[in-house]
A and B are shown apart, each in its own frame.
Chain A
Amino acid sequence: MLTSIKSNHLTSSGQRLGMMYFRVAIILFGAQLLMGLIAAIQFIYPAFLFELFDFSVARMVHINALVVWMLYAMIGATYYMLSDETEHEGVAIGLGKLAFWVLTLAVTIVVLVYIFIQIGPGKESTIWLINEGREYIEAPRWADIGIVVVVLIFYWNVFATYLAGKKTGIMTVMVANLLALAGLYLAGMFFTDNISMDQFWWWWVIHLWVEATWEVFVGTLAAYALIKIIGAKREVVEMWLWIEVLMLFGSGILGLGHHYFWIGTPEYWWEIGALFSALEPVPLIAMFVHVLYDWGKEQGINGEKPAINNGPAMAWLVTNAFGNFLGAGIWGFFHTLPQVNIYTHGTQFTAAHGHLSFFGAYATILIGTMYLGLQGAYGVKQMKATFNSKMGLFLSTFGVLGMGVALTIAGYEQVLVERAELGAGWNAFFVAQDLPWYVQAQLWRAIMGVVTLLGFVYLVLDLLTIGKKARAAEA
């Protein structure tokens, strides 16, 4: 189906490989939304697919599809930028293609096993073959090892191409950051009987991905996109990028401490986690200001008219600037202090933050990059937003925002009743889950989930047709 996204006009094989990753990313994004919808329905009708396709299965595929589609889109974006930035074809794109097919086959097998086999007996073989049972990084060990091999091929491609080609500031940040991003995965590949030790290292992967290296990745993507879309000056963009790296790593690395408040780790993490994670919104404000400032001041600096050459990509980039600050920054700051977090930890508050931040910080800019890819793939000079692009952006953003608000209300109910009034526990949990306003919030979450899915349908329609239309308009 997605082969109707042509990449004929791309002269670089690296960029074509990037497009292959984008196609799979979009399919997995759709899978994520469907699984989320099943899980949302189960909150309202618990009998839905009970003992057939339980919440745990839907939720596992929901969050795994999320992580994997984003990694696919990131790899795609990297391959797309690589030859553009380094002015080099890419050292081993053929091998990169092989790695793509190996990875895609592995992902397919893992998902089929999740869906049809689901769980196994309490033995090592389950962890090796079926699922590792650790949120976000459930992939069984055989797949972990496969992922490491594929990522090594990918990284070698990027690194060797960087060395062989032109070394821009953007690519320097990219190469250094990807090394950390890939290396961190290793911290999640071992088994221990000690649950505190387990979660300590688990957070090294999860937090140092989404609150450090992934954010820096977004910074490099935004820098590249601003140069491509509005022709921003490289010196300005690269200076901002280094400032962002400074602030993101300066706050995010030790901000890891906000996951170490309650898992058995010592009390000094209260102060360290509170201080550094409270600073985490600062770089997000900077990124927001940077994108909007450049939009206002840098566009068309080379005297080209019209100044924005890719409408949908720019719209998603600006949504990213808002969404990253709102979803990751504000919603994260809400519950990052231990004084608050002792009540909010493990409630729907976290789910609200998760939805808003993954969408705001990552989904938006990765979709924007896909539009950049389409522009190149169809050799279009000027890509204007269509009705479908606008509906896709508006409905999915509105839907996710609605889910975020609904889950925040659910979380608020849960915090007050389950945690503050009744002090957690089995009975407290169910009393809060049955509160009318909690139930109502879950209903709104499901409705907003449908709105998001509708936005996704428009988005896919647009991705399939916008290139051809824009090409026809220019011909």
Chain B
Amino acid sequence: MAKENLSVWTSIPFWRRSAAWVTGFASILLIWLTFDTMGQISMGTEADLAKGITKRVPAPTVINYHIDYKMSEKRGHEVPVIGKKQPFFGKEWSEKEAAALLHLGKLTSQAKNCMNCHTLLGNGAYYAPDLTKAWLDPAWQKSGAMQAMTGKNTVEEAMAEFLQHPSQYPTHARMMPNLDITAEEAKGLVAFLKHMSSIDTNGFPRNFSKTVDQFKNGGTNAH
């Protein structure tokens, strides 16, 4: 250390200072971007929904609306489209009820460890289908295999029925195990899934469940 350095490139103090500056600068930039992102991903309100203001993460009351996932020419990928009001489990949920239901659903998704088989927003394990847009999946719609199998008439009822008795409805050798999900918890989980499908994920997953025919028609198969 006492030896004099011939070049700055082999000087420890130079690299130490540079490391400190670069780390500090990167950290400050990250914190600044984090503040901006926090604002953009905070949940919207019922007023936003009523006025048609688009939020990246809408209010829990989005469960009272029809949700679709459509190509946006402007953005070059699919975006969630929140449509007209639509009953959820046969009723319209107040702000308080919707928030409580979403809370129960999110909590249940963690308590039942969904993420260690499924992916949520693409993160988790790869043993079972991605749940990001599961609410919009053709399999759960009218004429879809899953809805038909449960004998229910709406997406939410079919999903709730399946979640309570998954191994009664086997489709493949790989099945979802029974996780002792109660009827209330199942409703919460479906609300959580419907809410997640309304999040603006910058077009992930791309061409969601597009079949060859729909590809030709230039639409998506969401519904």
Contacts and interface: CB of A to CB of B under 8 A. Distances in A.
Contact of B117 (A59, A263, A424): A59
A263 B108 CA distance: 20
A46 B146 contact: no
A293 B137 CA distance: 54
B111 A430 contact: no
B177 interface: yes
B43 A194 contact: yes
Interface in A75-108: none
Nearest to A349: B126
B41 A246 contact: no
B107 A264 contact: no
Given A423-B206, A430-B129, A239 B102 contact: no
B171 interface: yes
B29 A123 contact: no
Contacts of A261: 202, 204
A54 interface: yes
Interface string A223-264: 000000000000100110011011001100110110111111
A249 B26 contact: yes
Nearest to A130: B111
A301 B43 CA distance: 61
Contacts of B149: none
A264 B200 contact: yes
Contacts of B209: 422-428
Interface string B111-126: 1111111011111111
A350 interface: yes
Given A253-B27, A422-B209, A135 B204 contact: no
B177 A262 contact: no
A33 B205 CA distance: 32
Interface stretch (A114-122, A308-316, A355-363): A114-122
A204 to B, nearest CB: 9
B150 interface: no
A135 B202 contact: no
B154 interface: no
Contacts of A250: 22-23, 26
B177 A54 contact: yes
Nearest to A263: B121
B109 interface: yes
B26 A266 contact: no
A253 B196 contact: no
Nearest to B25: A250
Contact of B206 (A133, A256, A259, A342): A342
B163 to A, nearest CB: 11
A59 B205 CA distance: 24
Interface in B160-179: 167, 171-175, 177-179
Nearest to B3: A235
Nearest to A61: B116
A122 B108 contact: yes
Contact of B111 (A121, A262, A419): A121
B126 A132 contact: no
Contacts of B56: 196, 264-266
Most chain B CB within a 10 A radius of its CB, from A135, A351, A419, A425: A425
A132 B125 contact: no
Contact of A135 (B57, B99, B116, B207): B116
Interface string B1-29: 10100000011100110110011001101
A131 interface: yes
B37 A423 contact: no
B106 interface: yes
Contacts of A192: 106
Contact of A119 (B11, B111, B121, B133): B111
Interface string A430-463: 1001100000000000000000000000000000
The 6 closest A-B pairs by CB, nearest first: A133-B110, A122-B108, A425-B209, A262-B204, A423-B207, A346-B122
Interface of B: 1, 3, 10-12, 15-16, 18-19, 22-23, 26-27, 29-30, 33, 36-38, 40-43, 56-57, 60, 99, 102-117, 119-130, 132-134, 137-140, 145-146, 167, 171-175, 177-182, 185, 188, 192, 195-196, 199-211, 220-221
Interface of A: 39, 42-43, 46-47, 50-51, 54-57, 59-60, 118-124, 126-127, 130-135, 138, 169, 191-200, 202, 235, 238-239, 242-243, 245-246, 249-250, 253-254, 256-257, 259-270, 272, 342-343, 345-348, 350-351, 419, 422-430, 433-434
5 contacts: A39-B127, A119-B179, A133-B114, A133-B115, A262-B202
